Amino acid sequence: MTLLSKPSPIPGVRGTDAARNGRPPTIDDVAALAGVGRATVSRALNDQAHVSDKMRDKVMRAVEALDYRVNPQARNLASRASNTLTLINCNALDAPPNSYYFAAIELGALRAAAAAGFELSTFNIHVEDLRRDDRLIELFESGRSTGLILSPPLSADLALAHRLIARGCPVVCISPSDEVRALLPSVGFDEEAAGYAIAQHVVAAGHRRFGYMLGIEGHLAAEHRFAGFLRALAEVGLDARAVTALRGDFSFRSGVELAEALLAGPERPSAIVCANDDMAVGAMFAAHRMSLAMPGDLSVVGFDDAPVAAYIWPPLTTIHQPIRRIAARAVERLIEVLLRGQGAGIAGFDTIDHHLVLRESVAPPRC
């Protein structure tokens, strides 16, 4: 960037002391050098009406002389999008949405945004989209959003985090990877501890042979739950051979399909642990269809504490993931970043408490 202690004379443009102190030039410096008002500079830069060709030319020559760069965050805050926060949801192309998770996260974010006088929009993107990162950057730089909230699996994408930081895009992440957590403000809970608590419970009930339904590839939060599950098994002398793990997509349909595969295998598990409640309900549906009694023939555990967990038969033991509170806190963190003008935001992780909800879907195995 070229900084001028005494700007070269520009015909029709008076001098200014802009950039003498080593700071980047501002819109006020441009206005001073061009000899116009701040509002005129803004209208000229945004190609709005009511600016003559002569005045626009003066502004653009001042911009060039100062090597002025438009700050996208400042532009957004001054525009119609200044009160618009965007929640980014991402899922596999062919996968049905994780219905309760997305609904709860949107509701929590919407309530927090409304309470603070902000608007909330949602932006759905496919995890396989080759231009997904560019689309998010365009969303911010176009002025349609003043800040983003990333949910998994995007919140685990280190390369995306670096690109958003470089663009000065305000971002808060929900359940990020450890690497992203070190770079950006984020909110979540201890996923590994939650998986550990589930394993402790089913092991204490006497189970030693398990089926485990993983989430979509790259969903690191769900992978951390599985790591906690394995850690608890190791503490009682059980290794990964005690678990048959199959990968699903968080949908009811995949829960049905995976349960059928697990229960038809040569070493049928006495307990199935699922990465979310939708898959757990699918597993229970498959077990009912196979005339298995629950929890006598099969115990099932879920994750999320979706409303259906309390009404399915038998009522589902699950982890209460505080989704709405996590989303609300993410919005609060993003607003703090915006009000303090912190660019992409200062790293720091807010932990929200979770707990195991004991219902009737777990019992000692019959054999």
Same domain, 235 and 132: no
Question: 39 phi and psi, to 5 degrees?
Answer: -65, -35
This model's pTM is above 0.85: no
Q: Which of these three, 28, 46, 70, is where a domain ends? A: 70
Can you give the pLDDT at residue 233? 97
Same domain, 215 and 167: no
What is the mean pLDDT of the segment spanning 309-316? Answer: 96
Same domain, 242 and 304: yes
Q: At what angle do helices 38-45 and 53-66 cross, to 10 degrees?
A: 90
CATH code, 198: 3.40.50.2300
Same domain, 278 and 133: no
What is the mean pLDDT of the segment spanning 92-108? Answer: 75
Question: Per mean pLDDT, which range of 232-236, 263-267, 279-283 is the poorest?
Answer: 263-267
Same domain, 48 and 102: no
Can you give the pLDDT at residue 40? 75
Same domain, 201 and 279: yes
Same domain, 185 and 331: yes
| Residue 132: how many other CB atoms lie within 10 Å | 17
Same domain, 129 and 230: no
**Report for 44-48, 93-97, 321-325: range of highest mean pLDDT:** 321-325
Same domain, 63 and 114: no
**Enclosing domain of residue 153:** 81-189+324-353
Same domain, 317 and 330: no
Q: How many domains does the chain have?
A: 3
CATH code, 16: 1.10.260.40
Can you give the pLDDT at residue 22? 59
Can you give the pLDDT at residue 83? 83
What are the CA-CA distances from residue 291 to residues 270, 284, 317 (Å)? 15, 11, 20
Same domain, 315 and 212: yes
The pair of three-digit structure tokens given for residue 191, joined into one six-digit string: 């996923």
pLDDT single digits (tens) 6-41? 334 444 444 444 444 556 787 778 888 888 877 677
pLDDT single digits (tens) 219-236? 888 999 999 999 999 999
Q: Does 364 reside within a domain? A: no
